[in-house]
Structure 1
Amino acid sequence: MEHYDVAIVGYGPAGATLAHLLADCGVRTLVLEREGAHYHLPRAVHFDAEVMRTFQWIGIADRMEPKTARHPGMRFVDPDGRLLLDWPRPQGEGPQGWRANYRFHQPDLEDVLRDHMTTRETVTVRTRCDVFHVEERDEDVELRFEDMSCGRIERVRAKYVVGCDGARSLIRRYIESGMEDYGFHERWLVVDVILNRDKPDLGEHSIQYCVPERPATYVRTPGLRRRWEITVLPDEDSNEIARPDRVWELLSGWLRPDEAELERTAVYVFHSLVAEDWRKGRLILAGDACHQTPPFMGQGMCAGTRDVTNLYWKLALICKGMVGGDAAEALLDTYESERKPNAREYIQTAVRLGGLINTAGTEEALRAALPAADGSARMESIMPPIGPGLGVGDRAGRLFGQPRMADGTRMDDLYPHRWVVVAEAGLAKGLELPAGVGLVTTADSNAAEHLSRLGARATVLRPDRYTLGGADTREALDALVARILPDLTQTQQPELV
């Protein structure tokens, strides 16, 4: 029977990204996927700079960037076309070292993720393998699955199993987790088209049409692809409204049938759910398996990527024997305590935006949506901190930017998957660091502007680039450095600590 460090159930973007991250750390990984190939039609259409930074770590950012489209922002308009809310997205390189947001075609991303996986010697990918039984043991987990290419039943064992297996997660059933429900459950028709030629009047911005009778969303995606999401009314039949003639009727305010081809039409029920339990023993959830969001912030896939970037380095430390015993349990406990509040904040914000879209047009909703004297409102992007876990102090758990070194190198290219101290040059003078820990100072980079955003003279960055805390004195910095865990990039496997 084959033994692995980590088995991942599900080979979508979250599962594939986790496999790449674990491979970078030398963790022996198995990926089991029921389908024979990735879904060939559009699904997710947006990711942000934090996700692109993760793609940088696994070596696909430069391949993905040319496949994306510019995203100038989102606008909410009332039935008369009047601006209710403006949500601009900064252009050019931002604090994470990449543009703030990207529009993309999910099959393009999955092609790149899977092609790059062929270079990963420590990852085994098995498609057309349907997992049907999970049995946790003292030292590992046994998985039984059917290889549907030949009908053979197989068994494997892994130290940990991560369910990246979507909203109907089998692994979540074995964890027996309930779901926290934030009250948004609506049917929306999703329509993807390919234009016959460019249609500039559709615009570059995403538009939320806050029309109480039938709210809708327009999204400009790469190339000639465009998307509309349109509310399905309670008395409408899901099959009927997805018929081509009915779809073209709904799109008639934007597009004629001779201007584009329908690529996909589907009715989805958008939910707002967060799993109550993200881990049980050696079983762990990530991505849609542990949270589902309405699409109004474009954060569904982003949240799954944040999950796996929080989780991968903790699993790597444990699987490589650098953290064990009670310390390993405590480290894995921080995954849920840190990620759950962050995911919840994004979902609750999406629910509030959904409420604005559904109710705007009434006098009360307009007063709430238009606080500015000029009749417009602006919204800034949110980046909520992660919840309590490894960090200390009120500056812990913040996503930190990516300084550029004096020669233009991005910090993460210099110190991939490592702990990094970022500090004012004077404060870091003579600082003693554990083996493998990087040091970036204001003398050799543009770290000063990043520290200013944190409001600290120094910080320690975890491998996922969230802050362990902030420091303004040498004593506080020394205390933070003392909390650094082992270097997960080591190839040796030292004794358990």
Structure 2
Amino acid sequence: MNTTLPEQVDVLLVGLGPVGAAAANLLGRYGVRTLAIDKATDIFTAPRAIVLDNEALRILQMAGLEEGAFDTLAIAKVQMHSPLFGRYARANTAGTMDCHPRLVTFYQPDLERALRARLSRYPCVSIALGADLTGFDDDGEAVRATVRLPGGDTAAVRARYIVGADGANSFVRRHAGLAFEGKTFTQDWLVVDALNVPNPIDHVEFLCDPRRPTPHMVAPGGRQRWEFMLQPGETREQMESPDKIRELLAPWCKPEDITIERTAVYRFHARIVDRFSRGRAFLVGDAAHITPPFVGQGLVAGLRDVANLCWKLAWVVQGRATPAILDTYDTERRPHARSIINLALLMGRLVMPRNRLAAFAVHGAMALMQRMPWARAFFEDLKIKPPARFRRGLFQRGKTRARLVRGGLLPQGLVRRGPGAPIVPSDDALGARLVLAGFGCDPAPLLDRSLQAAWRQAGGAIVQLRHCGQGEHGPQDGHSWEDMSDHLVPGAAPVGWIAVVRPDRTVLHDGPLEALDDIVREALAMLGADSPLPEGLPRTLQAAG
């Protein structure tokens, strides 16, 4: 990372909150010349987002954050309580998925500090704090932007692409003319963050009383958070007064026994842009979508955005793929982001019923469903959450005989090079690369030489994933890893199977080893990369539609 303002970059990144900082780290890992600007001179130190899931933690791992880079607290369960029916619903969030806890709480300023500190490793990333984007033009070949510097001077920056991570009031979105569709809730909420609360809870709970709905959760550092819905006629000033806060917290503690870290009144929004990009401008995070907080997916959705977009930008600017793959960012991300917003709206109806009659109907129905095993499992096992799987996009459509899902994520397991070697998460072994993975088999010596050269030119690597106890055959050149968890072989695919895995860990293509050359050739065609294609096979983005 350097603080010199370059005149020309591959990507101009506007906004350096947690989503922007994660994007900057990913672009840095991919070696993309990036200028990241933020009009603030430092991070915002008040806590805001508080929940991450296993998928978000996996993306932060991709961005280079090591375990322990910021404090998290694993949450084993989420409970919903009704004054009429008691505990009427429960979600089991204990355990791990893809080597990460299924649900954690965290302190956002710590995450932002960790992400910014990590940027010091990347000389290709420049940072300008206190710098404000005042305008940009897209001439079809590049973006020409004007940046106001801290002293008041302006600077011109030419970038191949611009990414708006500049929040709900995004200048990039407005300047690009992208509509922000959705609605604002009429209810205001008071958030109270406190330290040193006696008798801390170990879970997340929603107290779904129509008189005063109240989510309540615990976080690292001895923190707890309450969110109290304002009733008609209550004002911000009334709710933030010490006497009112004392009254609200009385069921749990005495305010004089704790430290109030923050109080704030805010209003929920549910909005999404009509497109995630226009020309050479792209939106991520709150600039593209705002999710009500009832499922804790607001920041998670932004991290999904940057995981999807950044590798595509890198492959395009480095000449490894055609610019047409950038169209799949909107194709893949917008439907999933909308489904998360819809889930949050549904959960909002459960949390804040309009009146006692609505609470009786909704909570009673939920309590009744808990008596049905299939319905209880749907909620308890989080099957209600939209899967991390695309309907359309940059992958070969169609089903296969393996457990892998094209357009879905490759599971993460624990691997090692051999006996006595360190055991690491498999994403770390795959690296920030496009990967051709062989499950219990080694594709490298079998792949046509010309295809192998084209694969390397497209930024591809070849990795063998051995089942536990399987010996390593052939040259020990570091491309072979032993699966110590059975999550990959045979958990994800049988011995003798191969898969093309994108840098964001999405399965692009897969099939039996016998189809190796065809699978690689088709993957290269989808990227638009140069490859020795058989006559008659078009170089088009075949699966994007």
- Cα drift, residue 399 of structure 1: 1.8
Q: Distance in 2 between matches of 1:310 and 1:161?
A: 15
Counterpart residue type for residue 340 of structure 1: R
1:349 and 2:343 aligned: yes
Q: Distance in 2 between matches of 1:310 and 1:336?
A: 10
The alignment-based identity, stated in percent, is 32
- Cα drift, residue 287 of structure 1: 0.4
Per-residue Cα deviation, 1:420-455 (whole angstroms, up to 9, x for no partner): 334442595954253342323343315753476667
1:293 to 291, 298, 322: 291
1:145 to 141, 144, 147: 147
1:86 and 2:90 aligned: yes
Q: Distance in 2 between matches of 1:19 and 1:103?
A: 23
In the alignment, which residue of structure 2 is the partner of 1:165? 166
| Maintained 8 Å contact 1:419/1:484 | no
In the alignment, which residue of structure 2 is the partner of 1:100? 102
In the alignment, which residue of structure 1 is the partner of 2:523? 484
2:487 to 433, 444, 449: 449
Structure 2 unaligned spans of 5+: 1-5, 400-404, 468-481, 528-538, 541-545
Q: Secondary structure at the match of 1:322?
A: coil
1:210 to 208, 220, 223: 208
1:116 to 89, 105, 118: 118
Per-residue Cα deviation, 1:14-60 (whole angstroms, up to 9, x for no partner): 11111111111111100110011100110111112222222223332
Q: Distance in 2 between matches of 1:51 and 1:299?
A: 9
- Cα drift, residue 184 of structure 1: 4.9
Counterpart residue type for residue 388 of structure 1: R
Residues 323-338 of structure 1 aligned to structure 2 (within 5 Å): 323=321, 327-328=322-323, 330-338=324-332
2:427 to 412, 428, 435: 412
Counterpart residue type for residue 363 of structure 1: F
In the alignment, which residue of structure 2 is the partner of 1:388? 392
- Cα drift, residue 170 of structure 1: 0.4
Q: Distance in 1 between matches of 2:388 and 2:438?
A: 23
Q: Distance in 2 between matches of 1:55 and 1:87?
A: 24
Q: Distance in 1 between matches of 2:463 and 2:485?
A: 11
- Cα drift, residue 181 of structure 1: 2.0
| Maintained 8 Å contact 2:46/2:109 | yes
In the alignment, which residue of structure 1 is the partner of 2:131? 129
Is the alpha carbon distance of 1:31 and 1:485 closer, same or farther for their aligned partners in structure 2, counting shifts above 3 Å?
A: farther
Residues 242-321 of structure 1 aligned to structure 2 (within 5 Å): 242-321=240-319
| Maintained 8 Å contact 1:147/1:153 | yes
Counterpart residue type for residue 230 of structure 2: V
Per-residue Cα deviation, 1:140-178 (whole angstroms, up to 9, x for no partner): 111112113x11122211110000000000011022112
1:439 and 2:443 aligned: no
- Cα drift, residue 180 of structure 1: 3.3
In the alignment, which residue of structure 2 is the partner of 1:74? 78
Q: Distance in 2 between matches of 1:74 and 1:143?
A: 46
In the alignment, which residue of structure 2 is the partner of 1:29? 34
| Maintained 8 Å contact 2:395/2:406 | yes
In the alignment, which residue of structure 2 is the partner of 1:493? none
Q: Secondary structure at the match of 2:464?
A: strand
Per-residue Cα deviation, 1:301-350 (whole angstroms, up to 9, x for no partner): 11111100101111001111223xxx31x211000100111111211111
2:436 to 421, 429, 447: 421
Q: Report the number of matched residues.
A: 477
- Cα drift, residue 257 of structure 1: 1.2
Is the alpha carbon distance of 1:458 and 1:368 closer, same or farther for their aligned partners in structure 2, counting shifts above 3 Å?
A: farther
- Cα drift, residue 134 of structure 1: 1.4
Is the alpha carbon distance of 1:358 and 1:317 closer, same or farther for their aligned partners in structure 2, counting shifts above 3 Å?
A: same
In the alignment, which residue of structure 2 is the partner of 1:492? none
TM-score, normalising length: structure 1? 0.89
| Maintained 8 Å contact 2:28/2:119 | no
1:369 to 344, 366, 369: 366
| Maintained 8 Å contact 2:52/2:299 | yes
Is the alpha carbon distance of 1:269 and 1:485 closer, same or farther for their aligned partners in structure 2, counting shifts above 3 Å?
A: farther
Counterpart residue type for residue 318 of structure 1: V
1:466 and 2:506 aligned: yes
In the alignment, which residue of structure 2 is the partner of 1:56? 61
TM-score, normalising length: structure 2? 0.81
Q: Distance in 1 between matches of 2:311 and 2:524?
A: 11
| Maintained 8 Å contact 1:73/1:205 | yes
- Cα drift, residue 223 of structure 1: 1.7
- Cα drift, residue 396 of structure 1: 1.8
Aligned-residue CA RMSD in angstroms? 2.6
Report which stretch shifted further, 179-188 or 401-410: 179-188
Is the alpha carbon distance of 1:121 and 1:337 closer, same or farther for their aligned partners in structure 2, counting shifts above 3 Å?
A: same
In the alignment, which residue of structure 1 is the partner of 2:471? none
1:402 and 2:412 aligned: yes
Q: Distance in 1 between matches of 2:289 and 2:48?
A: 17
Structure 1 unaligned spans of 5+: 489-495
Q: Distance in 2 between matches of 1:226 and 1:442?
A: 44
1:45 and 2:50 aligned: yes
Q: Distance in 2 between matches of 1:455 and 1:235?
A: 59
1:10 and 2:15 aligned: yes
| Maintained 8 Å contact 2:441/2:464 | no
